[in-house]
Amino acid sequence: MSLQTDVLVIGAGAAGLMTAATAAARGRKVMVIDHAKQAGKKILISGGGRCNFTNLYVEPANYLCSNKHFVKSALAQYTQWDFIDMVMRHGIEYHERDHGQLFCNDSAKEIVAMLLKECDNGQVQIRLRTEIDSVSQSDGGFSVATSIGRIQAESLVVATGGLSMPKLGATPYGYKLAEQFGLKLKPTRAGLVPFTLQPQEKQHFEPLSGISLTTSIAANRGPSFTEQLLITHRGVSGPSVLQASNYRQPGEGVTIDLLPSVDVADALAEARQSNPKRQLQTWLSEHFPARLAEALIAYHGWQNQALGQLNKATLEAIPSAINAWQLKPAGDEGYRTAEVTLGGVDTDELSSKTMECKSVPGLYFVGEVMDVTGWLGGFNFQWAWASGFVAGQNA
């Protein structure tokens, strides 16, 4: 059996569904194939089931890409306001959380239903549980051998996502296809991912699993993120850690300010003056949960003495240990729990205006499969919508 379509999209995730709906709205005949049983699986589990579908403050600076200008065109062609418009047209209620993050009031299912409805309006055919055997170029288009037969398409859009969460159906297929067409790849690694701890830190902090606090964290070459840090039984997680993980290179450390709103050197000097008999642990407990205060003393090997009696070395060590803790993680939790994949198809291979390959007319890459990664906060979906939209306008 041979099927014919104008546009074939591989991957029924965020970017693939957006491309399909957009191309179909232009009157193109569109088919989407996916090996999964369900469309939009990552959308369904995103944002704790409420999908942080975009952000009010989207800027190119919120993205990591080897070419920092690459994201500008697509983000300008399809903005967060365009997606919010679609959400409102479908009657989906949403709310804003910290840092302009927008979430559904009810369920992420509404976002998937909305995309499927948009696809349905354009009579997009979505074929799930479909495996791909091979892709080749033929008759000025593409011939794709699949478990539902051979599909002939004028344009082929690769929307297979990254490597994170293999149990949700993530595969390296998009990268393999890029290589088959001679495209360069940027090395991949897990992003938006918790850190694991070295034994010396694990010993002191693992028993505190569940404690969270506001911290500022910066990797060597990244901005500082002031958000919650959560101590877990495997290491540290929470938004500030996930954000910094995008910028931390393997083997490097991060700088953590455990009390970003307090200049610890000043506060300690003031406390020593006003209440020199107060014990160090009592003073730390005014700023941290008591168990964390105790663990910090044990971890750093400080004496729990009256503040007035602290020796010079301890007095010098405390401010930097709290305001600029140099933590070298053992590593990260990897793709099993990472929200995204850094690296992927080199954007130098693609037109930033259309997502079409410069060297292979008719072949497009959209979403996370390429070397574009957003911060935590709805930026990754906004990239999926924007890149999907521009490809859908051109494929």
At its nearest, how many Å lie between ligand FAD and the CB of residue 350? 14
47 binds ligand FAD (CB under 6 A): yes
The string of DSSP codes covering 171-217 is -SHHHHHHHHTT--EEEEEEES-PEE--HHHHHHHGGGTT-EEEEEE
- Terminal CA-to-CA distance of the chain, rounded, Å? 24
Residue nearer to ligand FAD on the CB measure, 51 or 218: 51
Residue nearer to ligand FAD on the CB measure, 161 or 362: 161
User: Residues 34, 110, 332, 346: which binds ligand FAD (CB under 6 A)?
Assistant: 34
Instruction: Give the residue carrying structure tokens 């055919």.
Output: 125
Task: Give the interface segment with ligand FAD, choosing from 77-85, 293-301, 325-333, 376-384 (CB under 6 A).
Answer: 376-384
Contacts of 51 (CB under 8 A, 6+ apart): 43, 44, 103, 104, 107, 108, 110, 111, 381
User: Residues 7, 8, 11, 23: which binds ligand FAD (CB under 6 A)?
Assistant: 11
Residue nearer to ligand FAD on the CB measure, 205 or 375: 375
Tell me the C-alpha to C-alpha distance, in Å, between residue 361 and each of 158, 171, 261, 365. 13, 24, 53, 12
191 binds ligand FAD (CB under 6 A): no
Amino acid at 99: H
User: Residues 7, 8, 14, 254: which binds ligand FAD (CB under 6 A)?
Assistant: 14
Spell out a b/e string for 184-223, using b for 16 or more CB atoms within 10 Å of the CB, else e: ebbebbbbbbbbbbeeebeebbbeeeebbbbbbbbbeebe
At its nearest, how many Å lie between ligand FAD and the CB of residue 109? 14
User: Residues 75, 111, 118, 169: which binds ligand FAD (CB under 6 A)?
Assistant: 169
Contacts of 195 (CB under 8 A, 6+ apart): 235, 236, 237, 241, 245, 248, 254, 327, 329, 330, 331, 332, 333
Print the binding letters for residues 128-167 with ligand FAD: x by CB under 6 A, - otherwise.
----x--------------------------xxx--xx--
Query: Beta strand pairing status for 195-196 and 331-332?
Result: antiparallel
Nearest to 5 by CA among 89, 170, 172, 125: 125
Whether residue 384 contacts residue 157, with contact meaning beta carbons closer than 8 Å, is answered with no
Count of residues in contact with ligand FAD, rule CB under 6 A:
36
At its nearest, how many Å lie between ligand FAD and the CB of residue 212? 19
Residue nearer to ligand FAD on the CB measure, 41 or 256: 41
Residues 219-278 that bind ligand FAD (CB under 6 A): none
386 binds ligand FAD (CB under 6 A): no
Distance CA 36, CA 38 (A): 5
Residues 275-334 that bind ligand FAD (CB under 6 A): none
94 binds ligand FAD (CB under 6 A): no
189 binds ligand FAD (CB under 6 A): no
Task: Give the interface segment with ligand FAD, choosing from 227-235, 258-266, 344-352, 379-387 (CB under 6 A).
Answer: 379-387
Amino acid at 36: A
Residues 111-130 that bind ligand FAD (CB under 6 A): none
Residue nearer to ligand FAD on the CB measure, 183 or 369: 369
Nearest to 163 by CA among 6, 344, 1, 313: 344
At its nearest, how many Å lie between ligand FAD and the CB of residue 387? 8
343 binds ligand FAD (CB under 6 A): no
User: Residues 52, 155, 323, 352: which binds ligand FAD (CB under 6 A)?
Assistant: 52
Q: For 306, which DSSP code?
A: B
75 binds ligand FAD (CB under 6 A): no
Whether residue 7 contacts residue 29, with contact meaning beta carbons closer than 8 Å, is answered with yes
User: Residues 7, 8, 9, 15: which binds ligand FAD (CB under 6 A)?
Assistant: 15
Reported as half-sphere exposure (CB side, CA atoms, 13 A), residue 214 has a value of 7
Distance CA 71, CA 301 (A): 48
Contacts of 94 (CB under 8 A, 6+ apart): 53, 84, 87, 102, 103, 104, 105
Task: Give the interface segment with ligand FAD, choosing from 44-52, 64-72, 266-274, 311-319 (CB under 6 A).
Answer: 44-52
At its nearest, how many Å lie between ligand FAD and the CB of residue 293? 33
Report the interface residues with ligand FAD, using CB under 6 A. 10-16, 34-36, 41-42, 45-47, 51-52, 132, 159-161, 164-165, 169, 171, 173, 339-340, 367-369, 378-381, 384
